[in-house]
Amino acid sequence: MENKRPEWTSYISFIIATIGSAVGLGNIWRFPYIMGEYGGAVFLLVYLFMVALICAIPLAVELAMGKIYKSDVVSVYEKINSRFKIFGIIGGITAVLIPAFYFVVGGWIINYIWIFLINDIPADFSAYFLTMNANPYIPLSLTVLFLLCTIIFPFIGLNKGIERANNIMMPLFGIMLILLAGYALTLSGAQEGLRFMFKPDFSKFSGEMILAALGQALFTLSIGMGAMITYGSYLKKEVNIRKSVYTLIFFDTVVAMLAGIMIFPIVFTNGIEPTAGATLVFISLPQIFLSLPFTRVLAVIFFLLLFFAAITSGISLLETSIACLCDRFKMSRKKSALLIFLAVLLLALPSSLSFGLMTDIRIFDKTFFDFLDYITSNILMPFGSLAAVIIAGWYAKNIAKEAFGEGNFARLLTFLLKFVLPPVLIAVLIIGLN
Ligand code: TRP
């Protein structure tokens, strides 16, 4: 069974799929609003630093762990030491919890594509957003539809499903993003938007912002729950991890910046504040599209772009847990996909309803949706990264060697891995717990 594991057909396919995993709602939806909240350019600077020097390290470690041990996330940890199996299990569980809220957003995206494509466009999007979610059936059905659109690819297989989906969707995504960013630059608010993104106002600097930048960097690189371990496990021997990581963080960062270049000029052209928060993309932006020429074309391109970004990330999330079932229980891919489909469905149900019917049901004062977002982003993912970093830094030395290669720079990275990352991640965890 072991040697029947699939492999990426080419290095390019691997890179495109990993970029597909990293580039997601985190880049287009979360990054601009977090940057907006924390004051623009200064946040961007801190964020770039976090990605390049801090988060690139667990990313390389996860890919290397997969590449060396060639298994699903649970088995990889178990192969390192059977006592570490629990970290793999937590990763596998996180990989089911994230889709349960991420895919609800995916459902909204489908809804918006649909209204801008053929339906009557609402006049007031904040009212619309509330009504949409108050209806129990539509968001739920769309979440399931999004889940189906995503799970079909791991269901089909690595080469014919996952690779193909990424190879088609990611280039389309890139073209649409460049188109819209180019368009945004022709708007009257372009200058102000760019100034907001690139001219730092150091008075905005704060400790909380450093943490937000770090959290965003971890989230956007899909670190801490085994997705990168799983994608790394399909790698051929000759692939150089360090080089792959450079490529990956380069593209992920370019995409996040292009998303900012696309969104902030639009925002400033219409004089709204960039601090609109999580609803920026679903309320403020569509509202602005109404006042621009070619509303429907613009909006459809925008939400389609978001759709592709979300699907390709969703695929890697689902593949992580599906691979666990395939590898560990020797289940067929199809049967594993079916089981994971049911598990995600079960959790997505209350998550989707938490904007309407179940909004009064709270866990630690949070709706089910917010609770899932909170425990995965603030606790489980930083915890998963911490486990990987400590194991690679202090226990299984072969991992760091595979991840960083040799030479002085590799030694610097290993130093960061052993002494800087654990305290940083522990701080993230402690603060995240509050
Ligand atoms: N990186 C994804 C994004 O930017 C979100 C994400 C976080 C993710 N963890 C993941 C995606 C694990 C796939 C696998 O939207």
The tens digit of pLDDT for each residue in 108-135 reads 999 999 999 988 888 888 889 888 888 8
The CATH number of whichever domain residue 420 belongs to comes to 1.10.4160.10
Q: Could you identify the residue written with the tokens 């790394």?
A: 232
Of the candidates 180, 176, 167, 166, the residue with the CA atom closest to the CA atom of residue 311: 166
Q: Which domain holds residue 153?
A: 11-433
Q: How far is the CA of 348 from the centre of ligand 1 (A)?
A: 17
Number of separate domains in the chain: 1
Of the candidates 399, 424, 367, 431, the residue with the CA atom closest to the CA atom of residue 100: 367
Mutate to test the pocket of ligand 1, among 222, 305, 380 (most ligand atoms within 8 A of CB): 222
Can you spell out the DSSP letters for 31-88? Answer: HHHHHHHTTTHHHHHHHHHIIIIIIHHHHHHHHHHHHHH-S-HHHHHHHH-GGGHHHH
Ligand 1 pocket, 220 CB below 6 A? yes
**pLDDT > 50? residue 354:** yes
List the residue whose alpha carbon is closest to atom 12 of ligand 1: 222
Q: Are 231 and 17 in contact (CB under 8 A)?
A: yes
From CA 222, how far away is CA 209, in angstroms rounded?
20
pLDDT above 70 covers a percentage of the chain that reads 98
pLDDT for the residue numbered 276 = 65
Ligand 1 pocket, 318 CB below 6 A? no
Ligand 1 pocket, 317 CB below 6 A? yes
Nearest atom (ligand 1) to Cα of 310: 15
pLDDT for the residue numbered 370 = 84
User: Helix (H, G, I), strand (E, B), or coil: what is residue 184?
Assistant: helix
- Average pLDDT of the chain is 91
Q: Could you identify the residue written with the tokens 């940890």?
A: 77
**pLDDT > 80? residue 365:** no
Mean per-residue pLDDT, 224-247:
94
User: Helix (H, G, I), strand (E, B), or coil: what is residue 410?
Assistant: helix
Nearest atom (ligand 1) to Cα of 219: 7
Q: How far is the CA of 377 from the centre of ligand 1 (A)?
A: 10
pLDDT above 90 covers a percentage of the chain that reads 65
Confidence of residue 74 (pLDDT cuts 50, 70, 90): very high
pLDDT for the residue numbered 68 = 96
Interhelix angle 241-269/56-69, nearest 10 degrees: 140
Answer positive or negative: Cα dihedral of 251, 255, 257, 258: positive
Q: For the segment 89-111, what is each residue's pLDDT rounded down to a tens digit?
A: 999 999 999 999 999 999 999 99
Residue 112 lies in a domain: yes
Residue 1 lies in a domain: no
Residues with Cβ within 8 Å of 261's Cβ and at least 6 positions away in sequence, in order, are 181, 184, 185, 193, 194, 197
Mean per-residue pLDDT, 125-148:
90
Mutate to test the pocket of ligand 1, among 313, 318, 377, 383 (most ligand atoms within 8 A of CB): 313
pLDDT for the residue numbered 279 = 76
Q: How far is the CA of 269 from the centre of ligand 1 (A)?
A: 30
User: Helix (H, G, I), strand (E, B), or coil: what is residue 355?
Assistant: coil
Q: How far is the CA of 123 from the centre of ligand 1 (A)?
A: 32
pLDDT for the residue numbered 364 = 81
Question: In angstroms, how far is CA 93 from the centroid of its own chain?
Answer: 16
Q: Are 19 and 233 in contact (CB under 8 A)?
A: no
User: Helix (H, G, I), strand (E, B), or coil: what is residue 289?
Assistant: helix
Ligand 1 pocket, 26 CB below 6 A? yes
From CA 247, how far away is CA 84, in angstroms rounded?
30
Instruction: Write out the two tokens for 162.
Output: 């996952």
List the residue whose alpha carbon is closest to atom 9 of ligand 1: 222
Ligand 1 pocket, 25 CB below 6 A? yes
Q: For the segment 291-310, what is each residue's pLDDT rounded down to a tens digit?
A: 888 889 999 999 999 999 99
Q: Of 56-60, 120-124, 251-255, which gets the smallest average pLDDT?
A: 120-124
User: Helix (H, G, I), strand (E, B), or coil: what is residue 402?
Assistant: helix
Ligand 1 pocket, 150 CB below 6 A? no
pLDDT for the residue numbered 1 = 42
Residue 3 lies in a domain: no
List the residue whose alpha carbon is closest to atom 8 of ligand 1: 222
Mean per-residue pLDDT, 244-268:
93
Of the candidates 169, 153, 170, 165, the residue with the CA atom closest to the CA atom of residue 340: 153
pLDDT for the residue numbered 3 = 42
Instruction: Write out the two tokens for 89.
Output: 């299990």
Q: How far is the CA of 26 from the centre of ligand 1 (A)?
A: 7
**pLDDT > 90? residue 30:** no
For the entire predicted model, the pTM comes to: 0.92
pLDDT for the residue numbered 95 = 95
Ligand 1 pocket, 313 CB below 6 A? yes
**pLDDT > 60? residue 2:** no
Ligand 1 pocket, 21 CB below 6 A? yes
Residue 2 lies in a domain: no
Residue 72 lies in a domain: yes
List the residue whose alpha carbon is closest to atom 10 of ligand 1: 222
From CA 343, how far away is CA 324, in angstroms rounded?
14
Q: How far is the CA of 90 from the centre of ligand 1 (A)?
A: 16
Q: Of 52-61, 186-195, 221-230, 276-285, which gets the smallest average pLDDT?
A: 276-285
